[in-house]
Every structure is written in structure tokens, then in C-alpha cells.
Amino acid sequence: NNNNNNNNNNNKPSAWDLLYYVHYVEHDRRLDEWVTLDRFDLSTLERATPPAAEGLAEGADAANGTETGRRTRRSNDGKFVRQAYGASSSRRGGRYGASSSEALDDGGDNTNNNNASDSLLRGGNWHYTGSAGNPDLAELEAEHHEITKVKNIGQIVMGKYLVEAWYYSPFPAPYNRAETLYICEFTLKYMRKASFYARHRRECPRRTPPGDEIYRKGNLSVYELDGKDHRVYCQNLCLLAKLFLDHKTLYYDVDPFHFYVITEVDENGAHVVGYFSKEKVSAEDYNLACILTFPQYQKCGYGKFIISLSYELSKREGKPGSPEKPLSDLGKISYRSYWTHVLLTLFSEQTGEENVQIRDVSLATGIKTEDIISTLQSLNMIRYWKGQHVVFVMQDFLKKYRERDGQRKIRLCDGKCLTWIPHAERKKGGVGGGG
């Protein structure tokens, strides 16, 4: 027995053999990283004993399959090997815990994602509300944070790109433990092994997303997908997107949404750039539920294109829309920039003699009146004059904006290239989505 204990002690990794998960206070979680001990200034180390109630749940909770993170040790050959170090309690089928789907082989078709759809509530984006005065909501928020606070996927290979993951995503086991996931950019099927991925790329017949192509200009193409008709693809898209979206609740019930997938087209096919989703029926007139440009295509102007596309659809429908609220910090920046561009461009085309109402601007742009007013207020263009609020536009300000704007190439949706018919009109006329 003593010999066995000595062998166990010898095999136990030291502190220098481990990787440590680091979150930087007051910084976005996508900056979180695994680091070795030599990255720490140990002279500043403060040791704290966690309460017994907060000990790691190795038993029943781990059986639920909802891991919060991984401990990493250095193996004998010097490589790092990740191991699960515990689990957060998660009500199976509850609101914020994605239930464990049946384990899939790498040669599978990822079609078991919707097994849990009946027991999961659906939703769009997750937003922290503070939960003041609501203990149930506070518990849900705390549980959501605990489940998602540690990244579980290291990176993805998608087409010719190797992309580092930013956030936790509830891929089903055993994919949720993979350091690298391999993603087919045409079917969004995910795999753990490079050999399966290489074989799939050779044999995959698809070269475009499913659904109807509704936009084509140059090498830019957009496909509309019904979540009900293309359930597996849309579920895989949501799982993939969650790797790069922090404030998003992910559910397997994609039936109530339409998805609009933006692609770059070349001789090898249509490569996914980003997407946005939209509720089929929205009581709040939301024209966008979730939006993402994948990291490998960011800083290319696709964000404004996706936003402008959502508003072009709203104009076709004849009713102004707005993104799902509240917006994330990055969402506020993107939308405020787009709204500013649209409004100042519209004002610069006028002589100043027109008596334009906010309501007219809303119908012309597809932007809801409250978003127009908030944007104008941020630009200090709302003034109180003769007992009423008016839009005050300085020509010098517009001139400077036009000069600056003329030096930038802004990628926006060209309505002439959009062959899309509103769904309400399709039901009346019995026609499809393309032109």
C-alpha cells in the first residue's frame, strides 16, 4: 500500500504542470485564456480557502454533463492534456442548461440536436438585467453565468481558417470537450478529428447553404432559411455562433425563426461570412434577433451590410423595425453608427426647405421612430423651438460628414439586387421567396 501511495504521489502533477484559466476583471470574457504558472507574479499571490459548499461537484452534477471548465496538465511527452475538473448544477432541460444530446460518432450527421427541443424554452439574446427584486431570475442568471464562464472549445477549423473560440458553447458530448472542432463551411457539420474532416471535404456534395438565394451582387450572396425546414443546419449555426457571442441564450427550437446567411462566393462555393436571425412573428416589431460576423471576416464592413439588409426587408414589408432589445455594448456601437450614416445621408440630400416629419423618415428608412429620436439626440440635433421639438441640422456639420464619408467605402445592401417577397404576400399570392 505504501508503494502504491508513493506511485500515486509521483504521478500527481505539480503546480507547474498545470494550466490556469484566467479572467481579466472588467474586461470582456473573450480575452480569457489558459496560461502556465510562469505567467504569474507569485509574490502577489493571496491564498483563499473556498467555502465547503462551493466545492467541486464530482458526482451527481457531473453526471448531468454540464461542465464549467477543464483542468489541464502536462503529460509525460510535454504536451498539455485537458481534463474536466467539475460541473455546475444544471436542471436537466432547464432554461439555461443545454441538455446533453446523445453522444455522436465523428461519422454521424449531427441530427440529434433537436432531441431536447420539447423541454427547452426558446429565446433570442441573453441580457444581464440585474434581477433586482426577483430571486428566481437571479438564480437563473447566476446559473447561466456559472455554466458559461469557462470556454470549453479552444478553436475551430472552418474552411481555410483556424479561428480561436471566444466563449462557451453547449455542443453535445463528446464535442464539448474538443480542443479543436472541424466545421464544414457548407453544411456546418462539426467533427473532432482531422481525418474525418478531410474525408468529409472530399465527399461533401454541397457548395452553398440550404434555402433560397435572395440576394446576389458581385461575389456577395445571401440565403434565406426557414428554421423549421432546415432545422439541423440552423441548430448547428446557433451552436457555432455561440462560440463568438457572449450574451446569447442558445436553444434547439429554431422553428420560430428565419435565418439569413451571408456568403462570399468563389469558384469553390459560397463561404459563410455571417448571419442574422429574425422572428417569424414579433409583437415588438423586432426585425433582427441575433447577428454575427465570424471573426475571420470582421473589419470588412459586413456588420453594416447585415444591418442594412434587415432594414431593407422591413421596408419591403412596409413596417419599420428595430433590433431585439436591449442591445449589447458592441451592438449599440454598430447600430448607432448605421443609424447615424442613414439619417445624415438622408438629410444631406435635402435642401432644408422640406417639412419632414420623423414618421416620414421612419417609413423611408425602415428605422423605428424611437431609434431615430435617440440617434438624433446623441448627435445633439433635437431642439425645442416655439413650443415643439424640431430636428436642427447644421449644414457645416453635414458637409464635414459627407467629406469624411466619401473617403470610406461602406458596404450596404443594394435593394435592386434583393429578390425577396415578404412572407405575408407569399401566402396571399402563393409565390416563393426569390424573384
Catalytic residue among 102, 267, 324, 403: 324
Q: How many residues does this entry show for the chain?
A: 435
Distance CA 149, CA 70 (A): 11
Lookup: cell for 226: 426557414
Three cell numbers at 187? 453544411
Return the number of other C-beta atoms located less than 10 Å from residue 428's C-beta: 9
| Residue corresponding to grid cell 453547449 | 170
CB atoms within 10 A of CB 153: 24
Measured between alpha carbons, how far is 263 from 277 in angstroms, rounded to an integer? 15
Helix H segments across 30-134? Answer: 60-63
Residue whose C-alpha is closest to residue 294's, from 220, 219, 217, 242: 242
Our measurement of the distance from residue 320's CA atom to the centroid of its chain's CA atoms, rounded to an integer in Å, reads 24
Residue 89 sits at the vertex; the CA angle it makes with 87 and 90, to the nearest 5 degrees, is 115
- Neighbouring-strand partners of residue 18: 73
> Residue 155, SS3?
strand
Q: What is the three-state SS of 322-388?
A: EECCCCCHHHHHHHHHHHHHHHHHHHHCCCCCCCCCHHHHHHHHCECHHHHHHHHHHCCCEEEECCE
Alpha-carbon Rg for the chain in angstroms? 25
Do strands 155-158 and 180-183 pair parallel, antiparallel, or not at all (unpaired)?
parallel
How far is residue 222's CA from residue 226's CA, in Å, rounded to a whole number? 13
**276 in Cβ contact with 335 (< 8 Å):** no
Distance CA 211, CA 388 (A): 49
Q: How far apart are CA 391 and CA 361, in angstroms?
A: 11
Active site residue 324: yes
Cell of 220: 456577395
Residue among 362, 393, 365, 359 at smallest CA distance from 379: 393
Tell me the catalytic residues.
324
